[in-house]
Amino acid sequence: MIVHEVKSGSMASSKTQQEFPMYRETPSRQPGRKTLAFLLGFTALALLLFLLLAYLVPYYGFSGIHSRLPWIMGIFMLVLGGVVFVSFVLLITVTLMGRDVPFSAKLRGITLKFLLPVLIGVGRLLGFRKQDVQHAFVAVNNELVMAQCRNGHPPRRILLLMPHCLQDSECTVKITNRVENCKKCGKCPIKDLVELATKYKVDLAVATGGTFARRIVIEKRPDLIIAVACERDLTSGIQDTAPLPVYGIFNQRPFGPCFNTRVALDRVESVLKEVTAMRQGM
């Protein structure tokens, strides 16, 4: 994931950091599913209308080329419209129900490569914040990733990929090359993440930037990445690593962006518990 270097800024006291209860995920309003379902439906309708216009506008010109060409183009547009309609229905089903559907892996690829920029643009036109669309995108991506894992593709090698900003800003220990260097003082979530990685026998890495994160992925060659980052870095990272499945978890920023951030450890462990159980059942 693209993770920016920790910027210098106002320093929060150690006491404030230790008292801040950000290690457990706060209850979610979960606007993401309904938001994305609405945007998917709106986008599907717009695409179907575009296909209809693309056929009707030049209709009379087709007949001048060949008498059967309007029928051929009509059948082509009908098939293409049917594919668009079925794809969006399946995506909306996954979004709202969170269940596996046919072609979930291919649907995830389509969503990652083509739909996110379109959905962000449509969302802005309809008054949605970019951040809301990104949260919805990651939520549905996670549903598709888990559906893919449950549908006969349990991951063998799992990588926990964390941003460097989780480390306490006053810590002098270098953990980016070797996270085991962590002294486990408990001032930041790295200690707990190391323990989770040991408990579930998965790889753990801390990245300082996108280039370093890509190098880690190439070296580790995981079947599944559980990544923590901010909205921008997480969505772009999920797109960059496609078709490799990435389960995304947003970090928590009690002191602002890129500074002493936190992660919901219970959420990380919940995902780890499920995917490692799949691996053991192979």
User: How many domains, the chain?
Assistant: 2
- Residue 4: inside a domain: no
- Residue 135: inside a domain: yes
- Residue 191: inside a domain: yes
Question: What is the per-residue pLDDT for 25?
Answer: 43
Pair 163, 276 in one domain: yes
Pair 244, 181 in one domain: yes
146, 176, 198 — which closes off a domain?
146
Pair 103, 165 in one domain: no
Question: What is the per-residue pLDDT for 232?
Answer: 87
- Residue 5: inside a domain: no
120, 146, 172 — which closes off a domain?
146
Pair 89, 73 in one domain: yes
Pair 74, 119 in one domain: yes
Plot region of 242 (φ>0 → left; ψ -120 to 50 → alpha; else → beta): beta
- Residue 270: inside a domain: yes
pTM (2 d.p.): 0.70
- Residue 1: inside a domain: no
Pair 160, 233 in one domain: yes
Q: How far is 179 from 188, CA to CA, in rounded Å? A: 13
CATH number assigned to the domain comprising residue 186: 3.40.50
146, 180, 215 — which closes off a domain?
146
- Residue 180: inside a domain: yes
- Residue 54: inside a domain: yes
Pair 71, 166 in one domain: no
Pair 63, 119 in one domain: yes
Task: For the chain, 282 residues long, give each residue's pLDDT as a single digit of tens.
Answer: 433 333 334 334 343 334 334 444 443 444 466 777 787 788 888 888 888 777 776 666 666 656 777 788 788 888 878 777 877 777 777 666 655 566 666 666 666 667 777 777 788 888 888 888 888 888 878 887 887 787 767 899 999 999 999 999 999 999 988 898 999 999 999 999 999 999 999 999 999 887 888 899 999 999 999 999 998 889 888 888 877 889 999 999 999 988 999 999 999 999 999 998 887 665
Pair 206, 99 in one domain: no
Pair 270, 230 in one domain: yes
Pair 22, 36 in one domain: no
Q: Which residues contact 246 (CB under 8 A, 6 or more apart)?
A: 141, 145, 224, 225, 226, 227, 237, 238
Question: What is the per-residue pLDDT for 49?
Answer: 84
Question: What is the per-residue pLDDT for 23?
Answer: 40
58: containing domain: 32-146
Pair 106, 182 in one domain: no
